[in-house]
Each structure stands twice: as C-alpha cells, then as structure tokens.
Amino acid sequence: MNLLRALRLDKKNKHQIISFVGSGGKTTALFQLARQLQVKGQSSKVFVTTTTHLGTWQIKFSDHHTIAKSIDDLKNIPNEGVILITGEIEGEKVNLIDNNFLNWLHSYSKEQSIPLLIEADGSRQKPIKSPAEHEPPIPGFSDIVIYVVGLSAIGKQLNDENVHRAEIFSQLTNLSLNESITSDSIIKAITHPQGGLKNIPSHARKIVLLNQAHTPELQSVGGDMAKHLLNHFDSALVGSLHQDNFQTFEKTAGVILAAGDSTRFGSPKQLLDWKGKPFVRHIVETALQAGLEPVLVITGIHHAEIESCLKDLPVEVIHNSNYKNGQSESIKLGIQSLPNNIGANIFLLADQPQIPVEVIKALKERHSETLSPIIAPLVLEERRANPVLFDKDTFPDLLQLTGDVGGRAIFDKHKVDYLPWHDDILIFDVDTKEDYERLKGLDV
C-alpha cells in the first residue's frame, strides 16, 4: 500500500490537520503524503507549513512557496498545487510562521476543506531523535500526529552521529552511549511520555511510522515492534518511503458468537467437551493465541455457564438479551462493544472449536498488507469458509443487520478479498450429534 492508503486517508472525508514529528524521513513523508492527497484528486491544493525551522533545500519539494509577512500574503495563496507557507528566509534556514498566521491558516484550511500538513519537529537528518525540553512544537489543533522513526539506526552505536540528542535517548531508554541501538530501545524511546508521546494532543489520532524497512529482515523487525507499539498508538506503519510500500498494523478484535440456544442439537454446543475443554474455551484460547485484542464473547441463554468456564481468561463475556431475534443482534452488540481504536474484527463461531491459530494470523497479515474491507478464507479454491475478517469501514453496515443473518449479508456491499486456504477443516461445523462424533475423531 502507498502512504495515503496505509494512513486510511484515501477516502473522501473532511480534511484533517496532520503534524509530523520524529526523524528518519519526516520531511519526505510529509511531502509524499501532500503529493498523494493532491494526485488522488481529494483537493486541488494542499497546505504545508512548519512550527520549526526548515532547510532552504526543502523548498524544492513544493509547487509554490509563500512567505507570510501579513494576512494579505495568506489571502493570495495560489489555487492549486502543494503550497509551502513559511516565515522569512535567513541564510540556509527557513523560519516558521507567526502563531497568528498559523491560527489563520488552521481556520481557513478547515473552512475550505484544504489538507494542512505541518512539520512540527527538527532532527538534523538523523534516523532517530529524542526531544529536548522545548520539543516538539505540535499545534494543539492537530487531528493526527505521525511519529517517524528510521529503522536504519538498529545495530548502530548510540552517539550524536546516529541519534539527534543521543544523551536524552540514553536517559529515556537506559541504553549507554556507544552501545548498539536495539529495537527494544527504540520502542522504549517511542513510548516514553517524554519521548515519542511527548506533546501529542489528547484528542489526536496517534500513528507511528517505522521507515527505512528496506529489507525483509527489517520489515519483520518492524512488524514485531508494531505489535508492542499498538498499546500506545492507534496504528503503526512499517515500510519504506523510498519504495512507497507499507503495512498497516492496528488492533484486530475477536468477537465470538456464542448466543445460540442449540435447540435442534438438544444441548448447548458452546459447552460441549472437546479434548477436555468446552468448545467456547477452545475458541477463546485460539483467539488469544492469534493475538486478537480485545476478545469478546457474546452469549444468550447459557450466559452464566459460559462465563464460568472462561472466568480465568482475559476476555469480556457480554450477555445478549435479544438473542432470540437472531445472529444479527449478537453481531451488532459485539461491534458496539468494541473500543474506538480497533482496525478490524474477526467473527468466530461457537460450533467451530477446531479453527487453527494459523488462519487467524493469516487473515490479520493479509489485512495489514491491504486494509481490504472483508477478508474470507477460500478453501480448496471453491468454498467460502469461516472465520471472516471485517475492516472497521464495514462496521456501519454490520450495525444495520436484522434478523437471523450473519456478516455474509453485506458481502455484496464491499469488495471481498479471498484468502486461499488448503485445509477443509475450516468448513466443518457441529450441527448434529453425528458431526460431534466426527469432530472427536478428527486428527486436529
């Protein structure tokens, strides 16, 4: 995915104010995004400004450069292109604009639906940095803050040649000067309140961009880092600005639909024993092992028994009082119960305890590469199977479901990305006593 898509900014919506901080590709990211916003046709012009100093060499990345000495200068901005708005030039430095002009630009860009991108940090072109006491100057009206890190620093010595403000980085991470920089030390710096999280407005969407992942090895390292960073950031991008190719890591939830009354089967399938554990516990453990977070279990008439068998696991068991109105009620309750920072959800069924961890991980991996609205396994090239991943863009449609229907009812509203899968175990479920006996005999 290119940067615009990886940031989920490729759809028509109100234009937001985005501040870039950190090091290791910050300016490149800013102008790359500005160009993609314009080319995508979302806006004929994009504003770029700064709350710190720029180098004069950076002016060339814009189509037009306006030096704001008065409000009149701002009122005469060109009507198209990537427009850089700054203070005056002094030697090889470009000064920031006055706060009054910045506030005017903020209001005007909102009124006119013009994207406003702000370079809100200096870094001296090092792959990583740590902020001084007065840094970073992030405007309080920023809607999104993107913290950029260069993974090329991994393995290099912690010194001023590789890190802007190396001593502060050392204090934040307890890594001694001249020691090798590790991915763990970078995570510590990024997630420290006086490091990567410093001065980010509480309302802003927080994104970390792990740049310079030019090789499969660094992409793998970045992916592992992203999983830790999601406890502090809304999303983590891993990739290369040079290649303009990124993965987007976000929290993926798991909603287990366990509200059925099993009338036809004759006893609650959620509580059937398989390999010494109830079905529903197998499914919950699989979801947790696959890294789904949070995991919600939606129950019906058998709420108390299900809650009891899961009480020692980090899951939320939610009673659906409208379970008799069909599966759609459980789907809606599950979606409504998710936190706001979820990127996607995977629905799991209570009568499929045999679903492997691997297929859930594969769905998550595909989603990080594509942000597809719906991803479903396709078994042996012909049969759709469960579990199915739904991106958060589909949640409004899921909330409109009624009656005894599942998520497949919205397949015709979104592009479905099919994940080839070799194992037909995914299409097996327990509907009858004979199915249950077959399951007990399966070698899984």
Is the CB of residue 407 less than 8 Å from the CB of residue 344?
Answer: no
Same-domain pairing of 268 and 288 = yes
CATH number, position 216: 3.40.50
Burial zone of 37 (CB within 10 Å; 0-12 exposed, 13-18 middle, 19+ buried):
buried
Same-domain pairing of 148 and 288 = no
Lowest mean pLDDT among 67-81, 97-111, 131-145, 342-356: 67-81
What stretch of H or E contains 164?
Answer: strand 163-164
pLDDT tens digits along 274-311: 999 999 999 999 999 999 999 999 999 999 999 999 99
The pTM assigned to this predicted structure is 0.93
Is the CB of residue 197 less than 8 Å from the CB of residue 191?
Answer: yes
Same-domain pairing of 147 and 92 = yes
Give the closest residue to 304 by CA, choosing from 280, 337, 326. Answer: 280
Name the band, by pLDDT with cuts 50, 70 and 90, for residue 263: low
**Mean pLDDT, residues 341-353 taken together:** 96
Same-domain pairing of 245 and 255 = no
Same-domain pairing of 226 and 87 = yes
At residue 192, the 3 state secondary structure works out as coil
Same-domain pairing of 187 and 215 = yes
Q: Which of 220, 249, 278 is the endpoint of a domain?
A: 249
Same-domain pairing of 214 and 255 = no
Mean pLDDT of the chain: 93
Q: Which of 224, 249, 274 is the endpoint of a domain?
A: 249
Which residues constitute the domain of residue 179? 3-249
Residue 115, pLDDT > 80, answer: yes
Name the band, by pLDDT with cuts 50, 70 and 90, for residue 151: very high
CATH number, position 347: 3.90.550.10
Q: What is the pLDDT of residue 41?
A: 57
Q: Which of 231, 249, 267 is the endpoint of a domain?
A: 249
Is the CB of residue 373 less than 8 Å from the CB of residue 391?
Answer: yes
Residue 357, pLDDT > 60, answer: yes
Give the closest residue to 175 by CA, choosing from 160, 188, 194. Answer: 188
Same-domain pairing of 302 and 232 = no
Same-domain pairing of 231 and 259 = no
Same-domain pairing of 330 and 388 = yes
Same-domain pairing of 17 and 72 = yes
Could you give phi then psi for residue 342, rounded to 5 degrees? Answer: -85, 135
Residue 207, pLDDT > 90, answer: yes
Number of domains comprising the chain: 2
Same-domain pairing of 132 and 243 = yes
